[in-house]
Every structure is written in C-alpha cells, then in structure tokens.
Amino acid sequence: MDLRNFISKDALKLMFSLNGWTETEIREIANMAVFKPDFYEYGYIIAKSKKAVIKAMGNTKVSYKGDEFDSVQDLLEKHGPHSVLDFKDWAFSEEREWVILKNGEWATSFTTLDKLPHTKKYRC
C-alpha cells in the first residue's frame, strides 16, 4: 500500500468521510482498496456530496513487461491481479484523473488520494 493509490478499504472510507464525501463502490485488488482512477472505467463515480460527484475521466495508456495497454483491466487480464504488487514497474504515458463536477460543471481534478479535497473547498 502506497497510501496514494492503494490503501485499506476502511482507511479509504474514513478519508472520504473526513473530507465530506460519501463513497460509492470501492474496488479492491489483492486486499487493497484502489484509489487510482485508471483502475475504474471512464465515467465511474467513486464519491458524492450534496452538490458534486467525483468521476473518473480521461484515457489510460500503461506499459508493463514489454506490453502496452489502453486499460488497466486489460493489463490485469493478461498478467493477473498479482501484477499490482509490481505497480512501481508500471509506466503510464496517459493517466485518468478524478474530476469533481459541481452541479455538472468542472470544479477541479486530481489523481492521488493525498490530493482529495474537502467538499467545503469547492462548496460542494
């Protein structure tokens, strides 16, 4: 667990709660909750507030062991879920972002858990 992309499920739920968000379904791989948006399909909503959502947007291009993939899911299908243990060896040339949409309008974007903003920052 690097605490930016992978963390325990309970800790991730706590991070959302402390920052004013209500999480939706959180993905788990190898007993770790996954926060990195590239592990979610385009448009996936990971959290909500009264006025906003956090949605995965953008494209993914990742290389691992000589192969290039347009999705993390394809990488995991070929190399297996245990490949996340080599996450430091994954090379992203394009990465998805978490985008906060307030009342349907762009407010901000970020990629790692340490950048998760509090809902009050954007009046969400």
pLDDT tier at 1, thresholds 50, 70, 90: low
Across the range 83-106, mean pLDDT stands at: 95
Does 91 reside within a domain?
Answer: yes
pLDDT band for position 109 (50/70/90)? very high
The beta strand positions in 10-124, using DSSP E, are: 22-23, 28-29, 32-34, 45-48, 52-57, 61-64, 67-69, 91-94, 97-102, 105-110
Residue 62 forms part of a structural domain: yes
The count of domains in the chain is: 1
Sheet with 61-64: strands ordered across: 67-69, 61-64, 91-94
Q: What is the pLDDT of residues 19-49, one digit of tens each?
A: 999 999 999 988 889 999 999 999 999 999 9
Domain membership of residue 107 as a residue range: 6-113
| Cα dihedral 40→12→68→42 (10° resolution) | 20
pTM for the model: 0.90
Please calculate the CA angle 52-55-58 and round it to the nearest 5 degrees.
140
Tokens of 58: 């953008």
Is 15 inside a domain boundary? yes
Tell me whether residue 30 is in a domain.
yes
